[in-house]
Amino acid sequence: MTESELKALVSLLDDPDHYVSDHVEGEIRKFGNKIIPVLESEWQDNSLNPFIQRRIEHLIHDLQFVQVSDRLTQWYAGGEFDLLEGLWIVATYQYPELTYEKLKDAVEQVFYEFWLDVKPDMHPIDKIKTMNAVFYGKLKFTSNTKHFHSPANSMLNIVLESRRGNPISLSCIYMLMARRLNIPLYGVNLPNLFVLTYKGEIPQFYINVFNKGLVFNRKDIEQYVAQLNLKPLDTFFEPCSNLDIVRRYFRNLIMAFEKTGDQDKVEEVKKLMRIISDEEN
């Protein structure tokens, strides 16, 4: 169909005959996300018709949600679980116009600052000290303690822009930089906290990115777990997968929307979570 024909189809959404308008909506959905620009244009043209605007908004949201679901399904089925791609998909739930290329460019800009200061011949501990100086000093990344449960903390594009995040978002940015520098840092899933661990040429240690890059050891984790009256599981000490990280992102989003009382988004994110759940696949 031509653009004019698509616009004519969209204009029938406010047909007084519900059978006609519902049939038209069904036909529009068949076009998928490629019809979104036409819908957005029609939304602007119908500024004096709140009914059709709401119907268009609902359609656009549904089409964008299908797009996110399809991307996540493909990412999961591919089995490679690229971290940056996974975090991009999470971000497109809130920012559907965000392209992977734009997010990658934002990461590249941050990485350049690390590349300037972290040298390959440095001792591992000195590399971490230098990364901390760049991350917290030069780039001013910091903990978003004021809005700890904000959904924005799970949007990598927003964290890169605001320089504020929660434990897992800050850790992921730090880890993405480290991996580009061939520093063997990995995520560790702790109860109520996400940290990084170094597993390389020197004895294993841990980094709390949420707490200014504090370096600590296994005994500190054992004490932390004991204070929570939990059994010290192996997963509290060893690296988790990129898939585990993306799953935790979605769990954080569910909690964030529960706190804001947005039950519709809670249910949508749960649907996304099921796509990458082993129990459902």
10-residue mean pLDDT series, the chain (281 residues): 73 75 81 82 70 85 95 96 98 97 98 97 96 98 94 97 97 98 97 96 96 97 97 96 97 96 97 86 43
Spatial contact of 67 and 52, defined as CB atoms under 8 Å apart = no
Looking at this protein, which amino acid is placed at residue 164?
R
User: What does the alpha-carbon distance between residue 166 and residue 154 come to, in Å, rounded to a whole number?
Assistant: 8
SS3 183: coil
Spatial contact of 170 and 159, defined as CB atoms under 8 Å apart = yes
- Phi, psi (degrees; rounded to nearest 5) at 142: -150, 165
Residues 61, 118 within the same domain = no
* 236 C-beta neighbours (distance < 10 Å), count: 19
Q: What radius of gyration do the chain's Cα atoms show? A: 22
Residues 56, 163 within the same domain = no
Residues 244, 146 within the same domain = yes
Residues 54, 137 within the same domain = no
Confidence (pLDDT) at 281: 43
pTM of the predicted model over 0.85: yes
Q: Are strands 164-165 and 142-143 parallel, antiparallel or unpaired?
A: parallel
What residues make up the domain containing 117? 83-280
Confidence (pLDDT) at 279: 64
Q: Final residue of a domain: which of 78, 112, 131?
A: 78
Q: How many domains does the chain have?
A: 2
